[in-house]
A and B are shown apart, each in its own frame.
Chain A
Amino acid sequence: MNTLAKQDRWLLIGFTLAILAGPILLKPFGAGYPDLLQKFCIFGIFAVGYNILFGLTGYLSFGHAAFLGIGSYTAVWSFKLLTMNVLPAIILSVLMTAVFGLVIGFLCLRRSGIYFSILTLAFAQMAYNLAYSVLTPITNGETGLQLVKGDPHVLDRWFGVPIVDGIPSTNFFGISMVGYSGFYFCAALLIISFYVAMRLTRSPFGLMLKAIKSNQNRLKYTGVNTRSYALIAFVISGCYAGLAGALLAVTDPLAGADRMHWSASGEVVLMTILGGVGTLLGPVIGAGVIKYLENIFSSFNEQILNGVFGFLPDALQHPVVKFVGLFVGEGWELTLGVLFLVLIIFVPGGLMQGFQSLQRRVFPTQPTPAADATRGAH
């Protein structure tokens, strides 16, 4: 099991190239700037991790944003207290979320189905509400935790890193995490995360998780302790979320409690579903689509629309602009909602299944077994 199957290797290579070439590929779509590309990568990691739990084991967690928030807070504290180097921040965040994941997962996984979802939701909302109220000394409440002048940076002092006047920026052994270097750092981590998720999915462990999804009872009857498998999956996906949270702090050292709100948990569910549950590539694509809508569609205004539809006769232009205006700018979430409804109704397997069936229609070869399996499930 030390080598990847042939098609997986090609998938990984293609994925790596696509991510690294992101700035060039996405330029025509107006998304070729590092701020947004970073977000694609970070939320890609979040969604890939979420998919390990939801896609493989079928446990629908509504509280994953809590791990995102915990990761961010840990990272910012590491910047404040230890060093501006991002490596310790990331390691500490992942460890911290692993601990929280272990505790929360242990409690939540005692129930399944919707009871599990509500338990995770309850824990996340508790974290969110406490971050705003009692834990203000740790989280800095509504203002959000941020770097200030005079933070100790203990490790930086020990190793004699020159202290800059004012607020220092995050770095990776001297490489500043601003602009494209920040993006490539996130991209590298996304590729590593993707590789790990791929190995995990193809391993016997991943097979066990899939067995939990398809029939947990039968698995129990054969003497397998399913809960410990599910718990490991929960912790791993929590760590992914923690990593994503840490990266959010790396690219912008500010952690706010709104990252833990249940709507953020809902967003990652949408990403995973939109792309395709249980597929490797799907969650990344879903994350990209949603972040693209959020950042690009929301910036369209009437002027731009008038420019786009300028070729239409005036009588037609006005109503068309009005109608399209509903879906962009402030109303980008309407596009998301409609897209989501259409996908769930017509292509339950998400964008990935859509691509596959399109591919089959264009190049009618023998059907792939994986696609048949998803179709058979519904």
Chain B
Amino acid sequence: MDAIFLQLLNGLDKGSAYALIALGLTLIFGTLGVVNFAHGALFMLGGFCAVGVQKLLNLSTQVKDESIPGLEMMVDVPYLQVWFGDTGAQIISFAVPISVIVAIPLMLLVGVVMERGLIRHFYHRTHADQILVTFGLAIVLQELIKSFFGATPIPVPAPQMLTGSANIGEWLGMGAGVSYPWWRLVYFCFSTAVIAMVFAFLQFTTFGMVVRAGMRDRETVGLLGIHIERRFTIVFGIAVVVAGIAGAMYTPIVSPNYRIGMDFLVLSFVVVVVGGMGSLPGAVASGFLLGILQSFASMNEVKQLIPGIDQVIVYLVAVVILLTRPRGLLGRKGVMED
């Protein structure tokens, strides 16, 4: 029982990352009808926002080491620590949450520029062309990051007070063995909050209502005198922001390198398609579903039963669902079928 609960928790953080990326992909697809292969690269860009912020906060100066008296030693101490003492050190350890705040306007800008500058010209081209142009963009973004930050993964630590593990087992009276890293718990709560915010935005604001109407029937909304394109640009920006902050927050869990986006992208596409193209709840549900299934499949008991299942479970589920339910779990009719 404990083991199962633990695997459930383990699946949640990966599932939340899938769900966030898939949500963004579906937002873009549902509004603009564009299949965005650069979404993984945007996730990676968010991760490198965190790396950049961390590097910026850690800009150091040479200071005389006073820990060993009588020795003339110089050590590198970050400016923030020199200026503000312990408060500065605290700020530095909060690099990742700070980077989320930095990433929001930055990614919004990236998103709007990308949509206005490139994607806009591809509305009337084939889906294959859209896939390819965004794929090309993803390669360019990846390589630019590689040339700036190098090819090795760069570790970004979580804030110091959140580095340990939470004894969830004790809270729920399940035995002390069930513990879970704080940061993963934070990530799960964070992504749930983001998902809730996106849904609330679409459901309860006038802007969201117009966007939903536009997703249903773009022309009619346009005929009512609403400038739907501008709203869709903003939605694109929001989707990019979601991918970016998902990437920034994920850095303490997996150290980012320039390929992380592509690895996530492939799985996220599977997630989106399993959820059903164009369905937001489907994307979120299948993100968590596949994350949790993946974590269950990696249990030793399951692996002994069916060898190799942990490697293929996501794809196997995808194949089975696509062959039995042609439009995925919650897909709409007639979307992307030709």
Shortest CB–CB separation between residue B35 and chain A, in angstroms?
Answer: 7
When distances are taken between beta carbons in the complex, the residues of chain B under 8 Å from A331 are 143, 146-147
Q: Known contacts A114-B277, A118-B322, A344-B132: does B139 contact A129 (CB below 8 Å)?
A: no
A330 to B121, CA, bound (A): 31
When distances are taken between beta carbons in the complex, the residues of chain B under 8 Å from A216 are 338
Q: Which of A78-125 contact B (CB under 8 A)?
A: 107, 110-115, 118-119, 121-123, 125
When distances are taken between beta carbons in the complex, the residues of chain A under 8 Å from B315 are 121-123, 125-126, 129
* Option from A114, A132, A338, A378 in Cβ contact (under 8 Å) with B140: A338
Cβ-defined contact, A334 with B312, below 8 A: no
Task: Judge whether B292 is part of the interface by a CB distance below 8 angstroms.
Answer: no
Cβ-defined contact, A345 with B133, below 8 A: yes
Cβ-defined contact, A333 with B139, below 8 A: yes
A356 to B39, CA, bound (A): 34
Q: Residue on A with the closest CB to B266? A: A262
Cβ-defined contact, B323 with A113, below 8 A: no
Cβ-defined contact, A378 with B125, below 8 A: yes
Cβ-defined contact, A334 with B322, below 8 A: no
Cβ-defined contact, B318 with A341, below 8 A: no
Cβ-defined contact, A115 with B311, below 8 A: no
Cβ-defined contact, B311 with A107, below 8 A: no
Q: Residue on B with the closest CB to A332? A: B143
Shortest CB–CB separation between residue A344 and chain B, in angstroms?
Answer: 5
A130 to B266, CA, bound (A): 17
A118 to B273, CA, bound (A): 7
A331 to B125, CA, bound (A): 29
When distances are taken between beta carbons in the complex, the residues of chain B under 8 Å from A344 are 129, 132-133, 136
A110 to B127, CA, bound (A): 19
When distances are taken between beta carbons in the complex, the residues of chain A under 8 Å from B137 are 337, 341
A153 to B50, CA, bound (A): 56
Task: Judge whether B72 is part of the interface by a CB distance below 8 angstroms.
Answer: no
Q: Residue on A with the closest CB to B310? A: A133
Shortest CB–CB separation between residue B118 and chain A, in angstroms?
Answer: 8
Shortest CB–CB separation between residue B141 and chain A, in angstroms?
Answer: 8
A348 to B132, CA, bound (A): 10
Cβ-defined contact, B136 with A341, below 8 A: yes
Q: Residue on A with the closest CB to B124? A: A378
A42 to B121, CA, bound (A): 35
- For chain A, which range describes its interface: under 10, 10 to 19, 20 to 34, or 35 or more residues? 35 or more
Cβ-defined contact, A340 with B139, below 8 A: yes
A134 to B133, CA, bound (A): 36
Q: Known contacts A133-B311, A263-B262: does B270 contact A118 (CB below 8 Å)?
A: yes
Shortest CB–CB separation between residue A357 and chain B, in angstroms?
Answer: 17
Cβ-defined contact, A113 with B139, below 8 A: no
* Option from B133, B147, B312, B326 in Cβ contact (under 8 Å) with A130: B312
Q: Residue on B with the closest CB to A128? A: B311
Shortest CB–CB separation between residue A171 and chain B, in angstroms?
Answer: 36
Task: Judge whether B336 is part of the interface by a CB distance below 8 angstroms.
Answer: yes
A110 to B326, CA, bound (A): 9
Task: Judge whether B56 is part of the interface by a CB distance below 8 angstroms.
Answer: no
* Option from A58, A107, A217, A337 in Cβ contact (under 8 Å) with B136: A337
When distances are taken between beta carbons in the complex, the residues of chain A under 8 Å from B226 are none
A125 to B263, CA, bound (A): 12
When distances are taken between beta carbons in the complex, the residues of chain A under 8 Å from B147 are 326, 330-331, 334
Chain B positions 127 through 160: 1 when the CB is less than 8 Å from some CB of chain A, otherwise 0: 1110111011111101110110001000000000
Cβ-defined contact, A126 with B312, below 8 A: yes
When distances are taken between beta carbons in the complex, the residues of chain A under 8 Å from B136 are 337-338, 340-341, 344
Task: Judge whether B319 is part of the interface by a CB distance below 8 angstroms.
Answer: yes
Cβ-defined contact, A113 with B336, below 8 A: yes
Shortest CB–CB separation between residue A273 and chain B, in angstroms?
Answer: 6
When distances are taken between beta carbons in the complex, the residues of chain B under 8 Å from A269 are 132
Task: Judge whether A187 is part of the interface by a CB distance below 8 angstroms.
Answer: no
Q: Residue on A with the closest CB to B309? A: A134
Task: Judge whether A12 is part of the interface by a CB distance below 8 angstroms.
Answer: no
When distances are taken between beta carbons in the complex, the residues of chain B under 8 Å from A337 are 136-140, 142-143
Enumerate the 6 nearest inter-chain pairs by beta-carbon distance, A residue then B residue, closest first: A134-B308, A337-B139, A129-B311, A334-B143, A122-B315, A337-B140
Interface, chain B (partner A; CB < 8 A): 35, 118, 121, 125-129, 131-133, 135-140, 142-144, 146-147, 151, 262, 266, 269-270, 273, 277, 307-308, 310-312, 315-316, 318-319, 322-323, 326-327, 336-338
Interface, chain A (partner B; CB < 8 A): 58, 60, 107, 110-115, 118-119, 121-123, 125-126, 129-130, 132-135, 216-217, 262-263, 266, 269-270, 273, 326, 330-331, 333-334, 336-338, 340-341, 344-345, 348, 378
Q: List 24 A-B contacts (CB under 8 A).
A: A107-B323, A113-B338, A115-B322, A115-B326, A119-B318, A119-B323, A122-B270, A123-B315, A125-B266, A126-B311, A126-B319, A130-B308, A130-B311, A133-B311, A330-B147, A331-B143, A333-B142, A337-B136, A337-B140, A337-B142, A337-B143, A344-B129, A344-B132, A378-B125
